[in-house]
Structure 1
């Protein structure tokens, strides 16, 4: 059997490695148009910022290494320019010599990834404007920084790469401006969580412009659609990627809803003996079963391994993804998995929303707060999605939530997890466990939750609420929810007799725990409709700042 793979970064090399492990006799050939193979795209910002000393660290393997270890042939600077799927024949062009040759296959795999999107901006082709996608343009950026010593950089786009580049170039001493077309950074996050990150970015000296578009790039500045002029001697394009589907489309390979190649669970396309993996291929959501496109190295490796196994008579199948992501932005880690609030609503789920603010480890050992936003389905109690922001412990918790969601866990299951505990690592009731407990109480309608957004919308719609601040008077005087009256928890049982138990009531404290205790007092006293404010006053004040900013 002869296997030909088009592309040789994460997905393509994974196909080859797994196929060889299963079948020692197969002939495996990879054609790769670029110079470098199997490199870490995600590590590029950290080389440019100086955390990685040598660029070669990001390219630990070459064609000779793969030949020696796996007996596969990798041809760099060779582009597949034509495919005859009936004759199982490809035409390959040597990009260094312009010579063309014909090769034959039994099985063909598209692993040719995605290309960076170049926005239609006047001057985008200038020499100080760079994409951040491969080793060669990384070397070009590094050379430019060393030789030209730029002082001001404009980054167009506020996704993973844009934020990571902002962090790294700020650390390098450059003055950084980010231009983002959307009303928020990181479109996969909900706005309330994205806002926490936006504040942190600005606190670290980055000039963040939202709802803006770059229209002109000159040698000295970037001009936006609104007329804002930003001094810039370096411009980074971080405007996303699009799958390289042109070659596949020419032979009738079907594309999915996302515009990437449509595949089944075995990574097969609609054409027999042709597969697609990695950033060129579409995945599907573990939760909804619907198509999803999230080009990440982790997914690419997984897809490649599955295809390599299936091609050599294995039984692996793709189980879908949650769209999990994590990145570091200065002192914060930002993680997310599953559906966001806006995505869950769009899918028609009736959802419960919890904002859980807890220290990642014992407060007496300096534990720093993490903010967990969790979404659950009211009908099934299943966890649908989680977003977490914090200075520590985010990766640990997001991976627990990923596992739970993948195994279709319900909110109550989280409380019963036997998680590792010791004061340097966690709290006795880990934030994951508390999330499950509080969510389940809300799902059971014992302790209903209401978000600042929901409360504000209902009040603006004319509904009447009694809002009880259960904190100490000093805290109330410093900041409070609009329309709230201060009744400290210790006085609530007596003062509640003066309230109307038939009017919807909201209790809150700083972050939620005392507000929950106040809620229980009122419920036990016969109040008919009592909510605890999700995330307490801390979350409410963040919501108010978000409104004023956006």
Structure 2
């Protein structure tokens, strides 16, 4: 994992040691790396989910698909972010893919990881904002917000890799628009656009037949709203982390 940055710092330490100067200890290597593949950029910092699972480290995973700058400003591109958090909220690692703004976010997250920051810290980071460069709620802030909701129990979630179990044991509620639903959906999913949910709660209850309700939309935002509505009505509901975008990436055949 040590790439050019740690190697150059080791060279600096060697030169300082030869000259009898003070040296600083080598910090643990986080494995921060970035690569461009045609028009896409992919970047990582810290361990990924597979590494954490193999090491037996408990963690929660959150997915977001925010725009790299204000959505109303021309040229906004989605950044697909995945981050892992310890049960106490400490950031453990993050990965990102997108066409713009990926390097900026992974560098912020690498700095946060080095500093031992948690979800609350990410939510409160004061990052440069202007519509051509970012949003008032930066993608890094959004990671913090979502992680806070998950870790505080405000938004129970289900993951794309739980799909088989979810289909077997719960009602899948698709809160996207009818047009989105018509473009592709899970077999057996009930489609109730989130703007109609309050008026169709009895329909959801009847379809659930006492089972939990597993909610999803395209990216996780509308289904978050729907999940809060359902839970406020006493219905056992969970939100799909990252929505249909993440589900389709994990299960392209679905």
- Tell me the TM-score normalised to structure 1 length: 0.44
In structure 2, do the counterparts of structure 1 residues 313 and 360 end up closer, same or farther at CA, with 3 Å as the change threshold?
same
Q: 2:220 pairs with 512, 515, 529, which one?
A: 512
Q: Which residue is 1:322 aligned to?
A: 30
Cα deviation, residue 308, structure 1: 2.8
Q: Which residue is 2:251 aligned to?
A: 544
Q: Which residue is 1:533 aligned to?
A: 240
1:388-537 → structure 2 map (5 Å cutoff): 388-456=96-164, 458-459=165-166, 463-498=168-203, 499=205, 500=208, 502-528=210-236, 530-537=237-244
Q: Distance in 1 between matches of 2:250 and 2:211?
A: 24
User: Is the counterpart of residue 367 in structure 1 residue 91 in structure 2?
Assistant: no
* Regions of 4+ moved over 6 Å: none
Partners of 2:2 and 2:29 within 8 A in 1: no
Q: Distance in 2 between matches of 1:440 and 1:544?
A: 27
Q: Which residue is 2:85 aligned to?
A: 376
For structure 2, the 5+ residue unaligned runs are none
Q: Distance in 1 between matches of 2:14 and 2:55?
A: 30
Partners of 2:174 and 2:215 within 8 A in 1: yes
- RMSD of aligned Cα (Å): 1.7
Q: Which residue is 1:341 aligned to?
A: 49
Partners of 1:381 and 1:411 within 8 A in 2: yes
In structure 2, do the counterparts of structure 1 residues 306 and 531 end up closer, same or farther at CA, with 3 Å as the change threshold?
farther
Partners of 2:219 and 2:244 within 8 A in 1: yes
Partners of 1:506 and 1:533 within 8 A in 2: yes
Q: Which has the higher helix share?
A: 2
- Tell me the TM-score normalised to structure 2 length: 0.92
Cα deviation 1:369-400 (Å, max 9, x = unaligned): 1100111112x211111110000000000000
Partners of 1:310 and 1:316 within 8 A in 2: no
Q: Which residue is 1:356 aligned to?
A: 64
Q: 1:302 aligns to what SS in structure 2?
A: helix
Q: 2:64 aligns to what SS in structure 1?
A: strand
Q: Distance in 2 between matches of 1:406 and 1:501?
A: 48
Larger Rg: 1
Q: Which residue is 1:206 aligned to?
A: none
Partners of 2:166 and 2:214 within 8 A in 1: no
For structure 1, the 5+ residue unaligned runs are 1-293
Q: Distance in 2 between matches of 1:489 and 1:382?
A: 32
Cα deviation, residue 422, structure 1: 0.4
Cα deviation, residue 438, structure 1: 0.3
Q: Distance in 2 between matches of 1:342 and 1:353?
A: 11
Q: Distance in 2 between matches of 1:420 and 1:386?
A: 21
Partners of 2:123 and 2:144 within 8 A in 1: yes
In the alignment of these two chains, the number of paired residues is: 249
